[in-house]
Structure formats: structure tokens, C-alpha cells
Amino acid sequence: MGQCECVTVKKSVKTMAAASEHVLQVACMFGLGVDEEREEVIVPRTEVPVPDGAVVYVTGASGSGKSTILRLIKSQLQSDASMHLIDFDAMEIENGVERSLVDGFDDDAPLKDVLRWLSIAGLNDAFVMLRKPRELSDGQRYRLKLAKAIGESEQVLSQGKKVVVFADEFGATLDRVTAKVIAKNVQRWVRSHVEDSEEGSVTMIVATTHEDLMEALEPSVLVEKGLGGEVAVYSRGGE
């Protein structure tokens, strides 16, 4: 694991109930004042390490606020000019493109690199590589987005920049066996760059309700978000 940056995340919202008949009845039952503004803590002040060449794993139940933590980390890093941020979920695959997968990357990308990116994403079947995006299943489209994120990352790495890839609900559209295989590939790819002093580094920040990917991703930082608002952060080698 390379250098480590630490970001502070926190989020709260101020709420005031609209004084409907039902709200007034409930307020009377529990002795509440409906005209009082309350602050609801979504994410308490939390320090999250973001190491170079590592995986940060954000987990918790559905609706607990994992996606919020992911967005907060991203917003904290956006002002750092030395970093290139990739939002995996914002990447689009155009159905109307009549080009095979192997032709779907930058024209100057060497074929050997394109094949490697597709392979990391689990699209190393020759027949699949020659398909068009509209001919892919949902799971294959997800993996194509991953291959494109890897390709974009490596092009930026060659410029000596740090890359941070954000992936919400990582592997959710894949069957669990495939998800674990892809997660292992991603973990190896991330760590393969940390020792290369001539290139930048990659950090992968994922959020998922699934805990079965933890062994494959081998996260250096684990962030657990509880439904009650509490957040626990664990770093490899200690809490």
C-alpha cells in the first residue's frame, strides 16, 4: 500500500414536519412540538483513509447510507488536481454503436491492452469480444463498463496521475460466482500499479450490501455503515 490521504465525511439534514392532521395527532400522543426544526444526522463526522493502490470497501444494509458516503468521499477529492476521478456508475454504453467490443476503446489504444482490459473484466471469450454492445446481456454490459473504466484509468496513469474509481453497488448485477472472480481480478489490477514508480496509482472505492466480495477484494480500508447512523472504519493492521 502506498501513500494515504484521509478525508472527513459528514452529512446531516434539518427537518420540520408539515402540520397535517395526522402529524398533529402523533405529536400530541408523544408530546412533540411540530414547529421545532430538528437536525437528523445521516453520516456522523468520520475520517476515512484513502490509500494509494488499495481498495476501500463501504458496506452496510440497503438504505443505510453507503451511497451517501461514496458521494461525500468523491466531493472531498474533487478539488485535488493531482487526482483523476472516475464514476463507474456514470459511464454509459451506447447501444447504437455498431463497433465490436475490441473496437470500442480509443483508437490509439494498443490491441494487447484492450484485450487485457476486457480479460480483467471477464470478457475474454473471443466470440463475446467480437459482439456489439447491444448484443450483450446486462451482466456483460456491466463488465464492459468495468473494462472501459480500467482503460481510462491506465491512460491517465501513464501521465503520472492518481486515479480513484468509484463504484456503487459493485457487482450487484453479476451472479455471485462471477462477481467474486471479477473482484479478485480488480484487486490484482489495483495493486499491480502501486509498486510502479513511473506511473500513478489506482484506488478503488466500492459500496455494496454484499459481504461475500470482501475476501476477493482484500480491502485495505473497511467502512461499515449501520442503519442507526453509526459508522465504523477499520484499516488493515488495526481498527
For residue range 120-150, list pLDDT tens digits in order.
999 999 999 999 999 999 999 999 999 999 9
The reply to whether 42 falls in a domain is no
Which domain, by its residues, includes 59? 49-235
> How many structural domains does the chain have?
1
Full DSSP string of 99-157: S-GGGSS-TTS-HHHHHHHHHHTT---HHHHTS-GGGS-HHHHHHHHHHHHHHHHHHHH
Residue 68 C-beta-side C-alpha neighbours within 13 Å: 23
The reply to whether 141 falls in a domain is yes
The reply to whether 13 falls in a domain is no
Low-confidence ranges of the chain (pLDDT < 70): 1-2, 13-19, 23, 30-38, 40, 95-96, 195-198, 237-239
pLDDT tens, position by position, 24-41: 777 777 666 666 666 767
The reply to whether 179 falls in a domain is yes
Q: How far apart are CA 154 and CA 106, in angstroms?
A: 12
The reply to whether 33 falls in a domain is no
The reply to whether 228 falls in a domain is yes
> What are the cell numbers at 54?
488499495
The reply to whether 74 falls in a domain is yes
Q: Of all residues in the chain, what percent are helix, strand and coil, respectively (each to 5)?
A: 35, 25, 40
